[in-house]
Amino acid sequence: MVTTDALVLHAFDYRETSRIVRLVTRELGIVSAIARGARRPRSKFGAALDLFASGEAQLITTMGRDLHTLNAFETTKSRPALAESLDRFAAAAALAELLLRFAPEQEDPGLLDTVTDALDALTMAPKGAAEPVALGGAWCLVAELGFAPSLDECVACHAAIDSAASVTFQHRAGGVLCGNCARQAPGARTLPPAARDAIRGWLGRHASLPLDGPSLRAHQRLLREFLEEHLTDGGRPLRAVLAWERHEVDA
């Protein structure tokens, strides 16, 4: 039996009365667990297993099995505000997908804390202003997963890059390139100084500067391309990230 802080990233019904949840936990990383009887009207889980709820999970783990048993989940915080505006909802789903697809099934307390901070910030984001908050959370998760892009020195030759200059950003290389290296790197994007400042700020967990609509779209595209290049497992599309970028839900 393991008792650990956890957050619900995904939940779906299983058979007549149970639910399967995917949690990000402090002790075990990402885990899948079955909550038997969770759909019964008087289940001990109550409303605890809703998406993005934080709490203390009591897991019965079995060596060699992917699906654990959730014995109890004591909610410490639910986040109904994420459903009170569709841009928050779409952004929260994108963050959850990022973790579900790419986080390892091993202890990583930083992941839980980072996604908790990001979702808390999203719940407080003014309506219509969730994108920059979610972009910040997503880049922090990318950094926590060990893929933070290099922004201040050439990722190929380590030459210092002028912080006020537009630079070449190549997803495959993992960051910015100096002029010489950029010439040998086709398919790169140009990153204006303001965009680089924004990403640097997000990675440093500073409050986001105001960004106009086209800049936000460009940042969402840059993030998605970066994720697809470095993290996508088996070429499956990032459905929630794409839906968030295309404003399919919050149009």
Residues that bind another protein (CB under 8 A): 10-12, 14-15, 41-42, 45-48, 50-53, 75, 78-80, 82-86, 89-90, 93-94, 96-97, 100, 239-240, 243-244, 248-249
CB of 186 to another protein, least distance (A): 32
Tell which residue, 73, 86, 90, has the closest CA to residue 19. 73
Task: Name the residue nearer to another protein (CB basis): 167 or 241.
Answer: 241
C-beta of residue 148 within 8 angstroms of C-beta of residue 203: yes
- Output the smallest distance, CB 222 to another protein, in A: 20
CB of 116 to another protein, least distance (A): 16
Residue (82 or 154) nearer to another protein, CB: 82
Nearer to another protein, 36 or 200 (CB): 36
Picking from 203, 181, 176, 205, the residue whose alpha carbon sits closest to that of residue 192 is 176
Write phi, then psi, for 24 (nearest 5 degrees). Answer: -100, 125
Buried b (16+ CB within 10 A) or exposed e, 115-140: bbebbbbbbebeeebbbbbbbbbbbb
Sheet of 189-191, strand order: 175-177, 167-170, 189-191
Give the CA dihedral 204, 78, 67, 65, nearest 10 degrees.
50
Closest approach of another protein to the CB of residue 117, in Å: 19
Cα 122 to the center of its chain, rounded Å: 12
Specify whether the CB–CB gap between 199 and 151 falls below 8 A.
Answer: yes
Complex with another protein: residue 57 or 173, whichever CB lies closer: 57
Residue 49, SS3 per DSSP: coil
The single-letter DSSP state of residue 92 is H
Q: Which of 191, 238 has the CB closer to another protein?
A: 238
Smallest distance, another protein to C-beta of residue 110, A? 22
Residue 195 CB, shortest distance to another protein, in Å, is 25
| Residue whose CB is less far from another protein, 73 or 169 | 73
Q: In whole angstroms, what is the distance from residue 92 CA to residue 83 CA?
A: 9
- Rank residues 123 and 168 by Cβ distance to another protein and give the closer one: 123
Q: How far is the CB of 231 from another protein (least distance, A)?
A: 16
